[in-house]
Chain A
Amino acid sequence: MKKTMTVKELADKLNLKILTEGDLSREATGCYSGDLLSWVMSRAGEGDVWLTVMGNVNAVAVAVLSDCACIVLTENAPLDDTAKEKALQQGVTFLSCDRNAYELSVEISELI
């Protein structure tokens, strides 16, 4: 059976820093990694944890439209102020970590 956990549990277990708090009780059901927004938008699924280095306002729109559970900025990629403000308005959770997308994907695959 496919495992799921909430964004909050995932953040705690993987020691991810919470940059903006949306709905932390959302179930994370999968994972998608990518930086080209059109690509991500058409392929990331609802409930996915999206790993990217794109901390801009367009990433917020893509997360909303594709119904991702949260965005994780890998390798401490920066979140810009406009994106932060927009994420808070739209209830998008941004997390961050120092690992790269591959390393974090491996960790996530052990949890969900």
Chain B
Amino acid sequence: MEESIKLHYIVPGDDFTRAGAASGDVKRTLKELGVSPAVIRNVSIAMYEGEINMVIHANGGEIDVEITGEDIIMTLRDEGPGIENVELAMKEGYSTAPDNIRTLGFGAGMGLPNIKKYTDEFSIDTELGVGTTLNLRVHIQ
């Protein structure tokens, strides 16, 4: 692949029915490109967790995906409240999701840990009251 493929998604806030639309679309695109199922799975899980986080915590956000010959690069940007303690948020089982979210099956405290687990490169830029950006990269090979 000489040229990269660029995809852009808007994740609406507070709408669980639409969460998964972006990751589902990326999954289809990667499948069409013949990317291996293991890589597709990693990208799908990381992106869906990111989408859900945006819906639960940040009233939505935007996702940019770039697919090159070597990598899938994802940038997930929101203008939510920011993460107060990143170290705690990265701990499996720690969650600040409200109770009504738990009844939907979320709030297990696995969001960010799963995103880290399923990506090859992971960084968070977050500022209280300003928002959070996740920079993710998954190697295709």
Give the number of residue pairs across the A-B interface with Cβ within 8 Å.
68
Interface of A is mostly: helix
How many interface residues does B have (CB within 8 Å)? 23
Size range of the chain A interface in the assembly: 20 to 34
Q: Report whether A42 and B110 are in contact in the complex, using a CB–CB cutoff of 8 Å.
A: yes
Residue among B17, B49, B105 with max Cβ neighbours from chain A (10 Å) = B105
Interfacial chain A residues near B52, Cβ < 8 Å: 58
- Contacts A41-B45, A65-B27; is A58 near B110 (CB within 8 Å)? no
Interfacial chain B residues near A86, Cβ < 8 Å: 17
Interfacial chain A residues near B105, Cβ < 8 Å: 35-37, 54, 56, 58-59
Q: Which of B4-12, B18-26, B129-137 is found at the contact surface with chain A? A: B18-26
The interface of chain B, by Cβ under 8 A from chain A, is 16-17, 19-20, 23-24, 27, 37, 41, 44-45, 48-49, 52, 104-106, 108, 110-111, 114, 117-118
The interface of chain A, by Cβ under 8 A from chain B, is 35-39, 41-42, 46, 54, 56-62, 64-67, 82, 86, 90
